[in-house]
Amino acid sequence: QVGFGAEVEASRGCPYNCSFCAKIDFRDAYRRRNHEAVVAEIDRLIAQGVGYIYFIDEIFLPQKALLEALVDRDVKFGVQTRIDLWKPELLELLGAAGCVSIEAGLESLTVEGRAMLAKRCRLGTEELAALLVDARRHVPFVQANLIGVVEDDPALVEHWRTHLIDHGVWANEPVPLYPYPSSPSYRELWGEPDDLAWERAHDHYLASFQKFSDIQERRPRPLAELEATCCGH
């Protein structure tokens, strides 16, 4: 019996500027909440019957003090993070603290692809894969999120996907890059977003790709078509 679930925010914003992320106008600068305030909030939630927490931080950076505090509390939690920011001893602490789910933004399985996405990642693919596999030793579910990048060799991507999956880490088939309005990718193509930004981005997305996801069988429809159907235009 896990109990109720709740969301907690230990930080806001992100210190990175990946090309696909639409954080610029909304949750840009990284800042952490006061440690004591976060722990007190978690304690109140536990007292109300919460047994699972999802940290909704844009990026859950290693916070040793918070993890050490969670070790002593009867609560499970999930995070979204970058695996290259963690060391083996902190991954072990993450598992001991109660983490049951890691969504790791890997995005590309090649150095060239990560550079194109402006990931600012200093580790090689082999090192990243080793950290993901190590994380899986301590955390029941670990996912490596992948984005389709033209620089990536499909055979190499499939090699590393198979390696990760064989070691218990879920790695999706790379999904196409969606140029979200306000992301650097959008601004590079069209400049500042305007009132037609979503329609423009969506039309570009549909025109650029034939396959979208290994869990999505049907082709998305144009926004104008969907809006006409639901809004009576």
Residue 224 maps to a domain: no
**How many domains would you assign to the chain?**
1
- The domain of 53 spans 4-175
pLDDT of residue 1: 58
Q: Is residue 207 part of a domain?
A: no
Name the band, by pLDDT with cuts 50, 70 and 90, for residue 66.
Answer: very high
Amino acid at 34: N
22 pLDDT tier (thresholds 50, 70, 90): confident
What percent of the chain is modeled with pLDDT above 70?
97
Residue 233 pLDDT > 70, yes or no? no
Output the pLDDT for position 231: 65
Does position 196 have pLDDT exceeding 90, yes or no? yes
CATH of the domain at 65: 3.80.30.20
Starting at the earlier edge strand, list the strands of the sheet with 99-107. Answer: 4-8, 50-55, 76-81, 99-107, 141-146, 170-171
For range 70-82, the mean pLDDT: 96
In-domain check, residue 191 = no
On average, the pLDDT of the chain sits at 90
Confirm whether 61 is domain-assigned: yes
Residue 11 within a domain: yes
pLDDT for the residue 128: 94
Q: Is 114 left (phi over 0), alpha (psi -120 to 50) or beta?
A: alpha
Query: Looking at the predicted structure, is the pLDDT value of residue 228 above 90?
Result: no
Q: What is the dihedral of CA 55, 57, 60, 66, to 10 degrees?
A: -60
**Are the C-beta atoms of 143 and 103 separated by less than 8 Å?**
yes
128 within a domain of the structure (yes/no) = yes
Read off the pLDDT band of 208 (50, 70, 90): confident
Which tens digits make up the pLDDT trace of 79-124?
999 999 999 999 999 999 999 999 998 888 888 888 888 888 888 9
- Mean per-residue pLDDT for 161-183? 91
Tell whether 217 is covered by a domain.
Answer: no
> Where is average pLDDT lowest: 21-25, 28-32, 87-91, 114-118?
21-25
Residues 6+ apart with CB under 8 A from 19: 116, 117, 118, 183, 184, 185, 188
Q: Is 28 a domain residue?
A: yes
